[in-house]
Amino acid sequence: MNTDATNTEPAVSADLPMNMSMDEEKSGDVDEKLYSRQLYVLGHEAQRLLGASSVLVHGLSGLGVEIAKNLALAGVRRLALHDDALVNHYDLGGNFYAAESDVGTTAR
């Protein structure tokens, strides 16, 4: 991982959902089986807009990681994660990917 403090690129960027076919991506259709519960609450248009949106999550503390996970599960199309803060011992409990050897680095 790049530890240069001037690096402004997101740590992770992903196109979500990964099971969307090229035809669905172009037409804006919503996978009704995957998002059936959300469709009852949000409706097709809101879910389609959510699936076309891009979100940057800055700060991957325990709360930031939970927000990023929920956005991914909700069907956000692009999710970029960024955090240049140093890992501390508190982060080990909330971030499954942080190891004790990461403490004091910008590994999150």
97: its two tokens? 């990917």
Note the pLDDT of residue 81. 95
Domains of the chain in sequence order: 12-81 (3.50.50.80)
SS3 content of the chain, % helix, strand, coil (to 5): 40, 15, 50
pLDDT, tens digit, 9 for 90 and up, residues 41-77:
989 999 999 999 999 999 988 899 999 999 999 999 9
More confident residue, 18 or 32: 32
Note the pLDDT of residue 1. 44
Query: Which residue, 69, 71, 58, is CA-closest to 9?
Result: 58
Query: Under 8 Å CB-to-CB from 25, ≥6 apart: which residues?
Result: none
pLDDT, tens digit, 9 for 90 and up, residues 2-15:
444 444 444 555 55
- Name the band, by pLDDT with cuts 50, 70 and 90, for residue 93: confident
